[in-house]
Amino acid sequence: MPDPIRRDTPRSSHVSKNRSFFEGLRFDFTKGLNQKFSLSHSVMMGPTEIPSQSPETIKIPTAQYEFGANFLDPKAMLIGRVMTDGRLNARVKCDLTENLTLKANAQLTNEPHMSHGMVNFDYKGNDYRTQFQLGNGALFGATYIQCFTNFVWL
């Protein structure tokens, strides 16, 4: 019969050597209000590391609160987060039809010219798929994938 201490020694030494440390505190709380809607609260306190020219890293204590709201439905998903510094992150996924899906991402800040947004339209045909992308900063994109056999998509 194998010795359990020696059998688990390589695993335990691997875990202790490769452990990642977290300085600070993080608290997440999510409350479902009904089957489709939930609210979340996150608090994080800890240092922010700022690189410097010296070998030492400068750490500045920071704290952040984040409020979120989620709406999940079989045909629509809306996720929003607001931070204490004024940033807002939002994601939307909506099945407009059986084959057409709309996806949108937005990151809004109160700093000039730092907000970003992107919209994707995905269409699924019987043997092809297309995607159109639009975003701020003159971002345009289109893809087309055709199925020739069960194993070849171009």
CATH number of the domain residue 107 falls in: 2.40.160.10
Question: Which segments of 18-109 does DSSP mark as H helices, in order?
Answer: none
Per-residue pLDDT 10s for the chain (154 aa) are: 444 444 555 555 555 555 667 788 999 999 999 999 999 999 999 888 888 888 888 888 889 999 999 999 999 999 999 999 899 999 999 999 999 999 999 999 988 888 999 999 999 988 889 999 999 988 899 999 988 877 777 6
| C-alpha to C-alpha distance for 21 and 9, rounded to whole angstroms | 21
Question: Which segments of the chain does DSSP mark as H helices, in order?
Answer: 4-17
In a domain, 15, yes or no: no
In a domain, 1, yes or no: no
The residue assigned the tokens 């452990």 is 19
Number of domains composing the chain: 1
The domain in which residue 138 lies consists of 23-48+59-146
In a domain, 129, yes or no: yes
In a domain, 53, yes or no: no
In a domain, 37, yes or no: yes
